[in-house]
Amino acid sequence: MGGMFDHTFRYESRRSAVYARHGIVAASHPLAAQIGLEVLRGGGNAADAAVATAAALAVVEPTGTGLGGDCFALYYDAATKQVSGLNGSGRAPAALNLDVLAAEGFGEELPRHHVNTVTVPGTVAGWADTLERFGTMTLAEVLPGAIALAEEGSPIAPVIAALWQNEEDKIRGASSNAAELLIDGRAPRAGEIWRNPGQASVLREIAEGGPAAFYEGRAGAEIVRVIEELGGHMAASDLAAHHSTFDDPISTTYRGHTVYECAPNGQGIAALIGLNILEGYDLAELPRRSPERLHTMIEAIRLGFSEARAHVADPAIEEVPVERLLSDAHASELRGMIDPAARLDLARGLELSVGSDTVYFSVVDGDGNACSFINSNYNGTGTAIVPRGCGFPLQNRGAGFSLDPSHPNALAPGKRPYHTIIPSMITDANGELFACFGVMGGWMQPQGHLQVAAGLIDDRLDPQAALDEPRFCISTDPPHGPVNLEEGLPDETVAALAGLGHEVVRVDGIRRTSVFGKGQVIARDPGTGVLVGGSDPRADGVAAAY
Taking only the tens place, the pLDDT of each residue in 157-211 is: 998 999 999 999 999 999 999 999 999 999 999 999 999 999 999 999 999 999 9
Q: What are the φ/ψ torsions at residue 84 (nearest 5 degrees)? A: -120, 155
Nearest to 468 by CA among 486, 443, 495: 486
**Strands, E, within 14-159: which ranges?**
18-20, 23-27, 70-77, 82-88, 154-155
Q: Active-site residue 130, yes or no?
A: no
| Residue 472 bridge partners (DSSP) | 485
Which residues make Cβ contacts (< 8 Å) with residue 55, sequence separation at least 6? 35, 127, 142, 143, 145, 146, 203
Q: Residue 303: which pLDDT band, with cuts at 50, 70 and 90?
A: very high
pLDDT exceeds cutoff 50 at 221:
yes
Q: DSSP letters along 177-201, please? A: TGGGGSBTTBPPPTT-EE--HHHHH
Nearest to 50 by CA among 146, 114, 122: 146
Nearest to 195 by CA among 304, 310, 59: 59
Give me the pLDDT at residue 513, please. Answer: 83
Taking only the tens place, the pLDDT of each residue in 69-80 is: 999 999 999 999
Q: Residue 94: which pLDDT band, with cuts at 50, 70 and 90?
A: very high
List domains and CATH numbers for the chain: 23-243+360-400 (no CATH), 247-339+421-545 (3.60.20.40)
Nearest to 520 by CA among 534, 530, 505: 534
Report the share of the chain in percent with pLDDT over 90: 91
Q: Residue 355: which pLDDT band, with cuts at 50, 70 and 90?
A: very low
pLDDT exceeds cutoff 50 at 11:
no
Taking only the tens place, the pLDDT of each residue in 196-216 is: 999 999 999 999 999 999 999
Residue 326 C-alpha from the chain's centroid = 22
Give me the pLDDT at residue 14, please. Answer: 66
Give me the pLDDT at residue 510, please. Answer: 81
Contact 349, 301 (CB under 8 A): no
Nearest to 220 by CA among 398, 396, 392: 392
pLDDT exceeds cutoff 50 at 410:
yes
Q: What is the mean pLDDT of the chain?
A: 94
Q: In 3-state terms, the chain is what percent helix, strand and coil (to 5)?
A: 35, 20, 45
Contact 523, 467 (CB under 8 A): no
Q: Residue 354: which pLDDT band, with cuts at 50, 70 and 90?
A: very low
Give me the pLDDT at residue 109, please. Answer: 87
Contact 413, 202 (CB under 8 A): no
Q: Which residues of 52-78 are buried (b: 16+ CB within 10 A; e: fewer)?
A: bbbbbbbbbbbbbbbbbbbbbbbbbbb
The number of residues in the chain equals: 546
> What is d(CA 149, CA 59) in angstroms, rounded to the nearest whole number?
7
Contact 378, 420 (CB under 8 A): yes
> What is d(CA 117, CA 400) in angstroms, rounded to the nearest whole number?
8
Contact 207, 67 (CB under 8 A): no
Give me the pLDDT at residue 451, please. Answer: 98
User: Residue type for 81, please?
Assistant: K
Give me the pLDDT at residue 278, please. Answer: 98
Arithmetic mean of pLDDT, 422-426? 98
Q: Residues 65, 358, 381, 493: which is the catalytic one?
A: 358
> What is d(CA 415, CA 403) in angstroms, rounded to the nearest whole number?
13
Give me the pLDDT at residue 10, please. Answer: 52
Give me the pLDDT at residue 350, please. Answer: 42
> What is d(CA 244, CA 247) in angstroms, rounded to the nearest whole number?
10
> What is d(CA 69, CA 98) in angstroms, rounded to the nearest whole number?
23
**Strands, E, within 307-457: which ranges?**
359-365, 370-376, 424-427, 433-439
User: Residue type for 435, please?
Assistant: A
Arithmetic mean of pLDDT, 469-498? 93
pTM listed for this prediction:
0.95
Give me the pLDDT at residue 8, please. Answer: 58
Contact 50, 373 (CB under 8 A): yes
DSSP state, residue 270: H
